[in-house]
């Protein structure tokens, strides 16, 4: 397979104005009649029509009702003898396909007896021959015909205009989508489904029908998804003035899905994981994820669907922007400031652990990539999460004195973006231009050209900050400098535009005013904009040396080296008014302790890596009368093994694990009485509520249970684990139950096996809960090298099914990606397992296989014997002749 380049973009030679599709649905042989109206693109030189297709059986091609000659170029259908005029003409194509054999879950497939489609990025060509590219936008009419008993519900995009019975027990439904769309937003669903329905009236007074379709037994798990959808509709109208543009908006859940969800126009298709929830089966995290994914897909209705991408290199145009919008939505839903900060911390944690790692590895790519082999490999944390940070920086950079967060300016920019481009397929440049043009005189408008390097340059910039206090002048000079490491294909980088939001504190924790030399204004916080490689900023009227609180709220996606001493970080941990930086100070202190211990020859299993002062500071946080439980939980959680490893140039996963376990045990025993207090103090009596405050309390209790079980096992105490086991059995909601179960498993107490058995019995019919059961065992601590054998054994369990992506991810991905110490075995058995599973999955579902393949991304930093063994395993996969493009691209980049 060859790479596709962004620079090679050319407009299509033909436009498709309308599409009229008729489906005769049958699991093994579905007939698709595709009647299109096309015309030549007058701006492009005359050339043959080349229609994409994949795994289709072609029966007939008619042009203006008559037969025509055609040929095949591989799987591309080529029509050379089309009318030469620029008038529209009719093209009719009749094909069949086999949905039941479709294990890739791209195109039309069957899941538990129901038909579903997935067309993004290039799945529509598996349904019919088409110009399968996002800049071809057409009007769709869709008629579905199927057996009425087996498929009583027939859905497609837009409005239902007609339905009725046919002969032989079949029936039909005809749908018309009032909006033009690219084919990747096409969808159909047919099967036995039931819906929760809700009628709403928008601000402008129009009525809409909202529906959430699920399998008959799942209706009692749809209330939260429906509430999230109603909240999303209201939020987009209130914050951005973007109303629902359809009479009917549908969500359908399926248990076989390659990713989270899909924003098909008016007919979103969701992984059940992001729809179904009730307190007994879903955790607080699940509730939060559902809110954010429902919001995300709904927000795509404008950012993605009304304005779409010109080509797939512009993917972040819709994905980065829509992640930004869903993050803002979740923050607004969380309400109180402290809960907003918690959401921001969680988002940044994902960015830094997953995206920074991607940006430092073989798959590093710019937010707007320059080339790809398989587009499905580029639905990445860089496109999504870093893309969102780029949009967030734009908002920050259009701030003005009266709009200090930039929200009003950004909303103005969005308004202009829709005025200019509604109904079009555009580029990241078009978006940035609209935001800047709507905000003349702001930093974004001033530096737009340079700002766009965030789209073109890969890699995580490093920001160094050093402060110098001049007592005689009562001034403080902050020197900021930036560099960015080389990434594949980009050896040198130009400076970025980096917004650095900061505040100053006195050593005893008071807020100090910020007054730049030469200016009369003084504020408590401001955003400096670094555009050069190096710049100096001097603040005046300071009576003593301040402690800088830099990059507040994580104002730019960079690695900050501020050179702060442990004392300064302690000051921030105790006093910073910016909750993000307060949390960050604690993380930095723990990270410093870890890196220091890893650099020594000490016996890591017994080392007391955390200083008494740090333990005491963490105790103060845990016992703090005003801080929220959710914030406490985040602050008292050690950086992950993967994040610690990211700080090292050479990684021994076993040493990192041993050290982190020792640190955790130290925190567990030193604060044992405090954990016991927290477990008691933060009970949440009464009916389950999924709000931020209640879920924060449960999260902190969960951490307390784990810490207490760890200390108890160490001390040979069975009483406390017995108490946790009781909490597990008596729990009135899944969060508490799963936290208790997980505390037993993580501590390795003997009650864990019993609890796992009980859990399976209780939830044997709840697929999403059984996924949790598999995942917990795949990620369990490996005390005796027994996790891998257990994983292999679990693959033989009657509930395991490699074809179901959720199940494969729950067991195999948990082990390979979320359990480094169990995976990186000195005997290389983990890597052998990985290569077997990548190959097995590749034969079924290349997209899922390629995700698993990425578990080895960072192999070249491993110490021996891991490094060589990992390479052998990757080479073993690469040696397979008939690999998918998806896996081939990942493993060849890893080996390059
Ligand atoms: N746009 C889809 C992702 C499609 C992935 C294709 N491999 C979901 C989303 O981002 O909302
Ligand atoms: Zn998206």
CATH number at residue 533: 2.60.40.1840
Q: Which residues of 136-150 are buried (b: 16+ CB within 10 A; e: fewer)?
A: bbbbbbbbbbbeeeb
The residue among 162, 190, 218 that closes a domain is 190
Element (H, E) at 19: strand 14-24
What is the Å distance from ligand 1's center to 818 Cα?
Answer: 23
Provide ipTM, 2 decimals: 0.99
pTM as predicted: 0.99
Regarding the beta carbon of 794 and ligand 1, being less than 6 Å apart is answered no
Range of the domain at 548: 462-563
In a domain, 158, yes or no: yes
Relative to the alpha carbon of 263, which ligand is closest? 1
Q: Report how far apart, in Å, the C-alpha atoms of 458 and of each of 322, 351, 554, 642 are.
A: 21, 14, 19, 21
Residue 533 above 80 pLDDT? yes
- The Cα–Cα gap between 706 and 696 comes to 16
Residue 269 tokens, joined: 């298709």
Residue 234 tokens, joined: 């209201």
The residue among 563, 595, 614 that closes a domain is 563
User: Going by CA atoms, what residue is nearest to atom 5 of ligand 1?
Assistant: 120
Q: Are residues 35 and 167 in the same domain?
A: yes
Q: Are residues 41 and 148 in the same domain?
A: yes
What is the Å distance from ligand 2's center to 724 Cα?
Answer: 39
Relative to the alpha carbon of 318, which ligand is closest? 2
User: Going by CA atoms, what residue is nearest to atom 3 of ligand 1?
Assistant: 262
| Ligand 1 atom nearest 261 alpha carbon | 8
Q: Are residues 516 and 452 in the same domain?
A: no
297 catalytic, yes or no?
A: yes
Please report the DSSP string for 327-379 in residue order: HHHHHHHH-SHHHHHHHHHHHHHHIIIIIHHHHTSTT---SS-SEES-GGGG-
Is residue 370 exposed (0-12), middle (13-18) or buried (19+ Cβ within 10 Å)? middle
User: Going by CA atoms, what residue is nearest to atom 8 of ligand 1?
Assistant: 262
Regarding the beta carbon of 296 and ligand 1, being less than 6 Å apart is answered yes
- What is the number of other CB atoms lying within 10 angstroms of the CB of residue 871? 17
What is the Å distance from ligand 2's center to 855 Cα?
Answer: 23
Rounded to a whole number, what is the distance in angstroms from the first to the last CA of the chain?
16
Among residues 822, 824, 836, which one has the least CA distance to residue 869? 824
- The Cα–Cα gap between 734 and 198 comes to 27
The predicted pLDDT at position 788 comes to 98
Taking only the tens place, the pLDDT of each residue in 286-323 is: 999 999 999 999 999 999 999 999 999 999 999 999 99
Relative to the alpha carbon of 269, which ligand is closest? 1
In a domain, 659, yes or no: no
What is the Å distance from ligand 2's center to 296 Cα?
Answer: 6
Regarding the beta carbon of 379 and ligand 1, being less than 6 Å apart is answered yes
User: Going by CA atoms, what residue is nearest to atom 10 of ligand 1?
Assistant: 319
Relative to the alpha carbon of 259, which ligand is closest? 1
Regarding the beta carbon of 218 and ligand 1, being less than 6 Å apart is answered no
- The Cα–Cα gap between 552 and 19 comes to 50
Regarding the beta carbon of 376 and ligand 1, being less than 6 Å apart is answered yes
In a domain, 665, yes or no: no
Q: Any idea what the CATH number is for the domain that residue 28 is in?
A: 2.60.40.1730
Catalytic pick from 122, 263, 291, 297? 297
The predicted pLDDT at position 863 comes to 98
Query: Measured on CA atoms in the order 214, 293, 778, 675, is the torsion positive or negative?
Result: negative
Residue 463 above 80 pLDDT? yes
Contacts of 782 (CB under 8 A, 6+ apart): 788, 819, 821, 822
Q: Are residues 10 and 121 in the same domain?
A: yes
Taking only the tens place, the pLDDT of each residue in 228-257 is: 999 999 999 999 999 999 999 999 999 999
In a domain, 471, yes or no: yes
| Ligand 1 atom nearest 384 alpha carbon | 10
User: Going by CA atoms, what residue is nearest to atom 1 of ligand 1?
Assistant: 262
- The Cα–Cα gap between 783 and 443 comes to 54
In a domain, 633, yes or no: no
Q: Are residues 439 and 531 in the same domain?
A: no
- The Cα–Cα gap between 458 and 386 comes to 10
In a domain, 570, yes or no: no
What is the Å distance from ligand 2's center to 175 Cα?
Answer: 24
Among residues 139, 132, 199, which one has the least CA distance to residue 175? 139
Mutate to test the pocket of ligand 1, among 117, 125, 324, 379 (most ligand atoms within 8 A of CB): 379
Query: Measured on CA atoms in the order 660, 666, 667, 669, is the torsion positive or negative?
Result: positive
Among residues 247, 133, 116, which one has the least CA distance to residue 187? 116
Cβ atoms 499, 396 nearer than 8 A: yes
- What is the number of other CB atoms lying within 10 angstroms of the CB of residue 551? 23
Residue 649 tokens, joined: 């140039």
| Ligand 1 atom nearest 297 alpha carbon | 11
- The Cα–Cα gap between 111 and 258 comes to 12
What is the Å distance from ligand 1's center to 309 Cα?
Answer: 13
Regarding the beta carbon of 294 and ligand 1, being less than 6 Å apart is answered no
Q: What would the mean pLDDT of 99-111 be, rounded to a whole number? A: 98
Is residue 242 exposed (0-12), middle (13-18) or buried (19+ Cβ within 10 Å)? buried
| Ligand 1 atom nearest 296 alpha carbon | 11
In a domain, 842, yes or no: yes
Taking only the tens place, the pLDDT of each residue in 769-796 is: 999 999 999 999 999 999 999 999 999 9
Regarding the beta carbon of 452 and ligand 1, being less than 6 Å apart is answered no
What is the Å distance from ligand 1's center to 115 Cα?
Answer: 19
| Ligand 1 atom nearest 300 alpha carbon | 11
Cβ atoms 605, 658 nearer than 8 A: yes
Instruction: Count the domains in the chain.
Output: 4
Regarding the beta carbon of 120 and ligand 1, being less than 6 Å apart is answered yes
Taking only the tens place, the pLDDT of each residue in 195-237 is: 999 999 998 899 999 999 999 999 999 999 999 999 999 999 9
The residue among 456, 476, 493 that closes a domain is 456
Mutate to test the pocket of ligand 1, among 126, 251, 263 (most ligand atoms within 8 A of CB): 263
158 DSSP 8-state letter: S
644 DSSP 8-state letter: H
The predicted pLDDT at position 204 comes to 85
Q: Are residues 180 and 322 in the same domain?
A: no
Rg from Cα positions in the chain:
28
Percentage of the chain lying above the pLDDT 70 cut:
100
The predicted pLDDT at position 801 comes to 98
Cβ atoms 86, 40 nearer than 8 A: yes
Please report the DSSP string for 695-724 in residue order: HHHHHHHHHHHHHHHHHHHHHT--HHHHHH
Taking only the tens place, the pLDDT of each residue in 787-836 is: 999 999 999 999 999 999 999 999 999 999 999 999 999 999 999 999 99
* 752: helix, strand or coil: helix
Residue 571 tokens, joined: 């000051």
- The Cα–Cα gap between 763 and 216 comes to 18
Q: Are residues 428 and 331 in the same domain?
A: yes
- The Cα–Cα gap between 890 and 242 comes to 39
Q: Are residues 504 and 420 in the same domain?
A: no
The predicted pLDDT at position 550 comes to 98
In a domain, 37, yes or no: yes
Q: What confidence category does residue 1 fall into, taking pLDDT thresholds of 50, 70 and 90?
A: confident
Please report the DSSP string for 780-829 in residue order: S--SSS-HHHHHHHHTTSTT--TTSHHHHIIIIIHHHHH-HHHHS-TT-H
Cβ atoms 251, 213 nearer than 8 A: yes
Q: Are residues 442 and 475 in the same domain?
A: no
Q: Any idea what the CATH number is for the domain that residue 873 is in?
A: 1.25.50.10
Contacts of 691 (CB under 8 A, 6+ apart): none
Regarding the beta carbon of 297 and ligand 1, being less than 6 Å apart is answered yes
- What is the number of other CB atoms lying within 10 angstroms of the CB of residue 547? 25
Cβ atoms 811, 778 nearer than 8 A: yes
Instruction: Name the average pLDDT for the chain.
Output: 98
What is the Å distance from ligand 2's center to 309 Cα?
Answer: 12
| Ligand 1 atom nearest 375 alpha carbon | 7
3-state secondary structure 632-652: HHHHCCCCCHHHHHHCCCCEC
Residue 344 above 90 pLDDT? yes
Q: Are residues 52 and 122 in the same domain?
A: yes
- The Cα–Cα gap between 428 and 538 comes to 36
The predicted pLDDT at position 299 comes to 99
Contacts of 312 (CB under 8 A, 6+ apart): 121, 134, 372, 375, 378
What is the Å distance from ligand 2's center to 297 Cα?
Answer: 6
Regarding the beta carbon of 661 and ligand 1, being less than 6 Å apart is answered no
* Adjacency order of strands within the sheet including 462-470: 534-539, 475-483, 462-470, 559-561
Mutate to test the pocket of ligand 1, among 118, 119, 120 (most ligand atoms within 8 A of CB): 120
Go through the chain and tell me how many residues it has. 896
Q: Are residues 496 and 375 in the same domain?
A: no
Q: Are residues 176 and 44 in the same domain?
A: yes
Q: What would the mean pLDDT of 540-555 be, rounded to a whole number? A: 98
């Amino acid at each position: 397979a060859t790479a596709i380049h962004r620079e090679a973009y050319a407009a299509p030679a033909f436009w498709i104005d309308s599409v009229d599709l008729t489906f005769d649905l049958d699991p093994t042989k579905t007939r698709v009649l595709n009647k299109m109206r096309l015309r030549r693109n007058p701006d492009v030189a005359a050339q043959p029509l080349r229609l994409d297709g994949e795994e289709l059986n072609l029966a007939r091609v008619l042009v203006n009702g008559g037969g025509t000659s055609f040929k095949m170029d591989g799987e591309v259908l080529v029509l050379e003898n089309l009318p030469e005029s620029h008038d529209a003409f009719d093209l009719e194509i009749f094909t069949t396909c086999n949905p039941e054999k479709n294990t890739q879950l791209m195109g039309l497939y069957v899941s538990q007896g129901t038909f579903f489609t997935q067309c993004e990025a290039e799945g529509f060509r598996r349904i019919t021959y088409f110009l399968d590219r996002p800049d071809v936008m057409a009007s769709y009419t869709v008629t579905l015909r199927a057996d009425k008993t087996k498929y009583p519900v027939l859905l497609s995009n837009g409005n239902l205009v007609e339905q009725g019975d046919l002969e032989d027990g079949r029936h039909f439904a005809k749908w018309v989508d009032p909006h033009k769309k690219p084919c990747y937003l096409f969808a159909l669903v047919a099967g036995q489904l039931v819906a929760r329905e809700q009628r709403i009236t928008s601000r402008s007074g129009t009525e809409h029908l909202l529906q959430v379709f699920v399998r008959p037994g799942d209706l009692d798990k749809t209330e939260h998804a429906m509430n999230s959808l109603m909240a999303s509709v209201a939020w987009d109208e209130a914050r951005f003035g973007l109303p629902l543009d359809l009479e009917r908006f549908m969500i359908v859940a399926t248990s076989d899905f390659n990713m989270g969800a899909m924003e098909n126009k008016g007919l979103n298709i969701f992984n059940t994981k992001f729809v179904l929830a009730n307190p007994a089966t879903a955790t607080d995290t699940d509730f939060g994820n559902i809110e954010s994914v429902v919001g995300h897909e709904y927000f795509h209705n404008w950012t993605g669907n009304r304005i779409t991408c010109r080509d797939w290199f512009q993917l972040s145009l819709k994905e980065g922007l829509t992640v930004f919008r869903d993050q803002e939505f979740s923050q607004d839903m969380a309400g109180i400031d402290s809960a907003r900060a918690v959401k921001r911390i969680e988002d940044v944690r994902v960015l830094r652990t997953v995206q920074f790692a991607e940006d430092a590895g073989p798959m590093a790519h710019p937010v707007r990539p320059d080339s790809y082999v398989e587009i499905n490999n580029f639905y990445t944390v860089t496109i999504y999460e870093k893309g969102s940070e780029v949009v967030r920086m734009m908002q920050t950079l259009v701030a003005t004195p009266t709009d200090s967060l930039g929200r009003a300016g950004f909303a103005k920019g969005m308004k202009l973006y829709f005025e200019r481009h509604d109904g079009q397929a555009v580029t990241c440049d078009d978006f940035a231009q609209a935001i800047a043009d709507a905000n003349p005189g702001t930093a974004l408008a001033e530096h737009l050209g340079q700002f766009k390097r965030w789209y073109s340059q890969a890699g995580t910039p490093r920001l160094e900050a050093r402060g110098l206090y001049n007592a005689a002048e009562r001034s403080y000079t902050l020197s900021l400098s930036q560099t960015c490491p080389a990434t594949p294909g980009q050896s040198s980088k130009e400076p970025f535009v980096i917004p650095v939001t900061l505040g100053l504190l006195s050593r005893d924790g008071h807020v100090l005013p910020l007054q730049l030399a030469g200016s009369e204004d003084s504020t408590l916080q401001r955003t400096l904009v670094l555009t050069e490689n190096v710049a100096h900023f001097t603040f005046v009227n300071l009576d003593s040396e301040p402690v800088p609180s830099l990059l507040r709220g994580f104002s730019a996606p960079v690695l900050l080296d501020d050179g702060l001493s442990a004392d300064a970080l302690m000051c921030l941990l105790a006093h910073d008014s910016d909750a993000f930086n307060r949390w960050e100070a604690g993380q930095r202190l723990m990270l410093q302790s870890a890196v220091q211990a890893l650099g020594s020859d000490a016996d890591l299993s017994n080392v007391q890596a955390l200083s008494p002062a740090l333990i005491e500071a963490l105790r103060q946080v845990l016992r703090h009368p005003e801080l929220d439980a959710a914030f406490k939980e985040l602050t008292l959680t050690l950086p992950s093994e993967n994040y610690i490893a990211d700080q090292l140039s050479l990684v021994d996963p076993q040493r990192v694990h041993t050290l982190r376990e020792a640190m955790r045990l130290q925190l567990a025993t030193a604060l044992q009485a405090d954990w016991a207090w927290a477990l008691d103090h933060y009970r949440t009596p009464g009916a389950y509520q999924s709000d931020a405050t209640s879920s924060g309390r449960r999260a902190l209790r969960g951490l307390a249970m784990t810490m207490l079980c760890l200390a108890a096992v160490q001390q040979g105490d069975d009483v406390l684990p017995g108490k946790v086991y009781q909490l597990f059995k008596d729990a009135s909601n899944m969060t508490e139950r799963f936290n208790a179960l997980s505390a037993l498993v993580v501590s390795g107490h003997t009650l864990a096996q019993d609890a796992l058995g009980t859990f399976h019995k209780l939830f044997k019919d709840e697929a999403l809960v059984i996924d949790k059961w598999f995942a917990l065992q795949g990620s369990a601590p490996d005390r005796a090298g027994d996790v891998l054998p257990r994983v292999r054994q679990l693959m033989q369990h009657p509930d395991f099914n490699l074809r179901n992506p959720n199940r494969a991810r729950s067991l195999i991905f948990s082990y390979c990606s979320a359990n480094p110490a169990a995976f990186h075995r000195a005997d290389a058995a983990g890597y052998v397992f990985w290569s077997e599973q990548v190959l097995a999955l590749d034969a079924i579902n290349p997209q899922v296989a390629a995700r698993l393949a990425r578990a080895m991304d960072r192999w070249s930093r491993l110490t021996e014997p891991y490094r060589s063994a990992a390479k052998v395993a990757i080479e073993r996969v690469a040696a397979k002749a008939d690999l998918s493009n998806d896996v081939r691209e990942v493993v060849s980049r890893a080996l390059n």
